[in-house]
Amino acid sequence: MLVPDFRPQFSNSSTIGQSAKRIALRTGNFHPKEVIATEYREFNLRHAQILVSSYKHFTERDLLPMNLSPLELAERLFEAPFILLSHGTEVDPVLNYGNRAALTLWEMSWDEFTRLPSRLTAEAPDREERARLLAAVSTRGFIEDYSGVRRSHTGRRFKIARATIWNLLLPNGAFYGQAAMFDHWGRI
């Protein structure tokens, strides 16, 4: 698999859809599925680099080897045995990435997952604590050893443990969102 095959549907309301439409209108080639697939692939290649470089920046450790090609990196992150997810910078941040392990744990498709406000990954009573935690990450750059209870799309509860949460930075240093990675979880 070259890139996760969870391509968003063409939509006038989606950022990728709007961008695809602009490109198509500019080039005169309006084939929405092809344009979206290209944009989606480019997003994943760039996003993988941001996930890995930001993790290295804050933790001084490698999430995956840095000597991989952009395509190999994106594929390895998506197929990694650990959970990896991220959200953007919206006022109410929305998930913008989840690897296969995250999609499986939350029992969601790519489209469902990447439309979910990240606060909804936590149970209602835990959302205030989660908000405080993310504010601390914003200030310090990252935290380790986070644990908490989450609920999948179908209502199954699970506890995550030893999670690392870090800020995502663009190459110019601009804030790009936050990511979380963990490899310890269990059903409750």
Nearest-5° Cα angle at 90, 167 to 132? 55
**pLDDT, tens digit, for every residue of 19-72?**
545 544 555 554 445 545 667 688 889 999 999 999 999 999 999 987 899 999
Q: Report the candidate in 58, 51, 54, 92 with the shortest Cα–Cα distance to residue 74.
A: 51
Domain boundaries, the chain: 15-187
Distance CA 118, CA 105 (A): 15
Span 135-180, pLDDT tens digits: 888 889 999 988 889 999 999 999 999 999 999 999 999 999 999 9
Q: What are the backbone dihedrals phi and psi of residue 10, each rounded to the nearest 5 degrees, phi first?
A: -65, 125
pLDDT in tens, 84-122: 999 999 999 999 999 999 999 999 999 999 999 999 988
Contact 148, 119 (CB under 8 A): no
Whether 9 has a pLDDT exceeding 50, the answer reads no
**CATH level 3 topology of 15-187:** Beta-Lactamase (3.30.450)
SS3 state at 28: coil
CA separation for the pair 167, 180 (Å, rounded): 9
Nearest to 21 by CA among 9, 10, 37: 10
d(CA 57, CA 178): 13
